Structure 1
């Protein structure tokens, strides 16, 4: 048996899956505690070492060092790495979502363009269906001779009851990062408030795009003549009375900034979609005499207009680089639905995701995936589990698509303003995470020797944000190796 294992290890070494240094268990080789340079950087944070978990490992090689690797900690948005890897390894990089407008098999369109019977919409859980995509779908229906429709029946049966209260997490129910998942989610359910400059009158004109009935903008944004400092600091308060949502805006904006927009939640995903459908159908010259309601697509229904999402390889780039929470939630639910757990729920989808990882030898001990996005106080993972998953991902067939979904250090995504010095810029692909009491970073660093390193750092403490300088020191140190 020992001889057989030795032959297997030697064979793995020849294929580059491990180095001779990896023949011993990684945990036994790893240095316990931080190297001197990094211990000094950590000391400057004045945070207790008990709040820190770190793993640094050479890809295909040994662990360099580790600190409290097996303690489950809240990783904030770094949790998205788990969800996106489970999804792309199970569904494949070319997976796409479909959204279809359909009519009954016995429905007819008369010479005046009136559709007999309801128009059906089969929602596919597309996490990146945008307003312009819905507009094109409606335009396609008009090109096919449909002018007047009665009811629109939306079939959301791919998912179960997955709606959440957007204010539940932190009370900021109007912020898009808190958006609820839904099988038919358009533009993340966020309302676009546009501010157009009028230099002659030195004021800002505000309007909603697209123009949806039941949304009003009050208040005033003050015009200034200063040099544009960046994104204008605009505050909004919203009230909902008698079916009308009113945004009261305030703040200042430099005219030199030009037109800008902000996005806010105002309706549930279902209500927003219903209002948007009706207003956009009228915008393309159509007429609706009925209502938008939930239901099922009947057997034998015929597609009349369809939209296909970008492939999953592109979708996870949006998720990980921009750290989009609701897209991640929908992706997790899609994973459950495609595994036959329809209507998919968060619980059933988490079971599928952990099963996908387990079949790759990743037991992810201590993992609580929760909603998959990291916007959670319950979600936890250990640095050890995260590092093992990142190593497995690097050795997997989907490695190029997965790694390219991470933010490039100092270049784009949530890491665009980190370590922009030429000596470090673009030398890492990472995912960052931050919540109150949480700071984390994980990914891959390219050392000066040409070696790749896996890095995972998680801090859970009331002053966790003070760990940013340590994270930078950790990555900088690795780029020199």
Structure 2
């Protein structure tokens, strides 16, 4: 509590009396120019602004900004929660609705990526192997089959996080055959991906169609064709923006799957529903074009009651898990997050389903002391509106990680305010380089959770989640920045 008797300035006394007299403080009246003012949530008088900084502590300024937001036109009818937490004292510094379960959007990825890193290790990699059965005669003819054995690599052929493109993997496999002296394949190319029956990135439950910045579109199969040429079943007159994220329904599996980019004119570039199949078909085509005949066809074989004896030719290793998690959190990649969920499910329960992944993640969180009150973990990415978490549980979770051996890697995966990832366009002024957090965005949902470095060198933890706000997402971002600004002086 501030002792105002120390101050003899009548201006200071007047200002402090004004603040303390209010149960809910609103420092500015709303006008049409409200969002265009340089400092719309401060008292307009520069003298009063100086008084604020002179007589009020950073904590009091944080509290005042939070109180101001209660009557702000953008947030007054929203459901939102906020907490700043000190990881050293294990105490709440400032909060509002910190125990209210809210839709976390992509801050859900904080839980998914940490579980994967804890269970699999930072250096975990997915392997995709080329093998052959049978024998090679004196003319270089392989009388046997080629096998492409996958392990559910979610980055296969995507160039994400340093992953190789398909053509590079194919080239490496082809060089492997040359080392073995194989000039012709008298057999099939068999795909074995027993880990995942497919590498399909399925959408989670309760996803709202036509979310902000997303489209959901139907498309054809990618099993036999280049997905870059996949045709959409849409009217050509449809006006689709090129900077959106896309999803489509594939007749191949009757499931919603992710797509990376819409190129216009009814063409969709997809995140392959069956990446190993595309790799195998590309491999066969390249071999034939280069003069290495393949008499058989590409065929899947998930189980093999009587497996052939095989020899390893080449192994493609994915980027490390730390690289995958860095990419996932920086770009908020939904497909990679869902793949991580399925991977931890398989590693623990031998089942690649989302249900198994959910069980593993929730059990991991429970065993780690996560505050389970208000938690509803439905998917790995945060696309589901059935997800719920409280601000205080997010803050305590992030605090608990600071003692883990992989904390530095995990911390470094988070976008940096004003500098990188999904935070590059926030905190470009105050807070630049001091906010390290995961963002989340759905229609009328904006969230932010992570760490902040104060001007005095402290590391604090925070969570700020807003559901059902009014106005635009940019308006909410401005309010979020305004709430956190004084926390930098704590």
Could you tell me which of 301, 312, 315 is aligned with 2:321? 312
Distance in 1, matches of 2:351 and 2:458, equals 45
Q: RMSD between aligned alpha carbons?
A: 4.1
Counterpart selection for 1:119 from 119, 143, 146: 146
Q: Alpha-carbon deviation of 1:287?
A: 3.5
Change (3 A) 1:171 1:282: farther
User: What does residue 297 of structure 2 align with?
Assistant: 291
Q: Do the aligned residues in 1 keep the contact of 2:66 with 2:96 (CA within 8 Å)?
A: no
Alignment CA distance shift 1:285-1:37 (3 Å): farther
Deviation at 1:285, TM superposition (A): 5.1
Distance 1:238 1:476, change over 3 A: closer
For the pair 1:427 / 2:434, whether they are aligned, the reply is yes
Larger radius of gyration: 2
Report how far residue 112 of structure 1 moved: 4.3
Residue 142 of structure 1 is matched in structure 2 by 177
Q: Deviations over 1:280-317 (max 9, x none)?
A: 44466544333322214636432211011222111110
Determine the structure 2 residue equivalent to 1:96: 125
> Distance between the aligned counterparts of 1:337 and 1:396, measured in 2?
24
Distance 1:474 1:309 in 2: 41
Of residues 406, 415, 432, the one that matches 1:407 is 415
Task: Write out per-residue CA displacement over residues 2-21 of structure 1, whole angstroms, 9 at most, x where no aligned residue.
Answer: xxxxxxxxxxxxxxxxxxxx
Equivalence for 1:452: 459
Partner of 1:268: 273
Rounded Cα–Cα distance in structure 2 between residues aligned with 1:190 and 1:171: 27
Give the drift of 1:69.
Answer: 2.0
8 Å Cα contact 2:62/2:486 also seen in 1: no
2:101 to 57, 65, 72: 72
Distance 1:409 1:138, change over 3 A: same
Give the distance between the partners of 1:190 and 1:479, measured in 2 at CA. Answer: 50
Cα distance change, pair 436–311 in 1 and its aligned pair in 2 (3 A): same
Q: Report the equivalent of 1:228.
A: none
Q: Quick one: which of 390, 395, 398 aligns to 2:406?
A: 398
Aligned residues: 396
**Shift of the alpha carbon at 1:115?**
2.6
Q: Kindly provide the CA deviation profile for residues 126-177 of structure 1, in whole angstroms up to 9, marking residues without a partner as x.
A: 222222452344233333233444322222221357746669946679x999
Q: CA deviation at 1:191?
A: 4.3
The residue that corresponds to 2:487 in the other structure is 478
Shift of residue 379 of structure 1?
Answer: 2.0
Residues 84 and 460 of structure 2 are in contact (CA less than 8 Å); yes or no, is this contact kept in structure 1?
yes
> Matched residues in 1 for 2:95 and 2:77: separation?
12
TM-score by length of 1: 0.71
2:88 counterpart residue number = 60
- Of 178, 193, 198 in structure 2, the residue corresponding to residue 156 of structure 1 is 193
Following the alignment from structure 1 to structure 2, what is the Cα–Cα distance between the partners of residues 311 and 266?
20
For residues 241 and 64 of structure 1, do their structure 2 counterparts lie closer, same or farther at Cα, with a shift above 3 Å needed? closer
| Pair 1:171–1:43, CA change in 2 (3 A) | closer
Counterparts of 2:448 and 2:204 in 1: how far apart (Å)? Answer: 26
Alignment partners' CA distance in 2, 1:432 and 1:478: 18
1:51 is aligned to 2:73: no
Q: Which consecutive residues of structure 2, in runs of 5 or more, have no partner in the other structure?
A: 1-58, 158-164, 253-261
Look up the match of 2:388: 380
> 3-state SS of the aligned residue for 2:438?
strand
1:57 Cα deviation after fit: 0.5
CA distance in 2, matches of 1:383, 1:237: 30
Please state whether the residue corresponding to 1:87 is helix, strand or coil. helix
Change (3 A) 1:381 1:56: same
**Residue pair 2:398, 2:450 contacting (<8 A) in 1 also:** yes
1:37 counterpart residue number: 65
Between the aligned partners of 2:345 and 2:271, the Cα distance in structure 1 is 28
CA distance in 2, matches of 1:177, 1:238: 8
3-state SS in 2 of match to 1:94: coil
CA deviation after TM superposition for structure 1 residue 49, in Å: 6.0
Q: How far does residue 267 in structure 1 lie from its aligned partner after superposition?
A: 6.2
Find the aligned partners of 1:238 and 1:319 in 2 and give their Cα distance: 21
**Deviation, structure 1 residue 429:** 1.0
Deviation of the 1:457 alpha carbon: 1.0
Q: CA 1:38/1:309 → structure 2, altered by over 3 Å: closer, same or farther?
A: same
For residue 433 of structure 1, report the CA deviation from its aligned partner.
0.7
Report the CA distance shift for 1:248/1:338 in structure 2 as closer, same or farther (over 3 A). Answer: closer
Judge conservation of contact 1:95–1:311 (CA < 8 Å) in 2: yes
- 2:339 is paired with a residue whose SS is helix
Counting strand residues as a fraction of each chain, which structure ranks higher?
Answer: 1
Residues 66 and 357 of structure 1: is their aligned pair in 2 closer, same or farther, counting only changes over 3 Å?
Answer: same
What runs of 5+ residues in structure 1 fail to find an aligned partner?
1-30, 180-184, 193-207, 209-213, 221-230, 252-261
Q: CA deviation at 1:32?
A: 12
Q: Secondary structure at the match of 1:407?
A: coil
TM-score normalised by structure 2 residue count? 0.70
Q: Deviations over 1:415-444 (max 9, x none)?
A: 1111122x4211121111101121101110
Q: Does structure 2 conserve the Cα–Cα contact (< 8 Å) formed by 1:74 and 1:380?
A: yes
Q: Which residue of 1 aligns with 2:27?
A: none
Tell me the secondary structure at the aligned position of residue 173 of structure 2: helix
State the partner residue of 1:13: none
The answer on whether the counterparts of 1:72 and 1:381 sit within 8 Å (CA) in structure 2 is yes
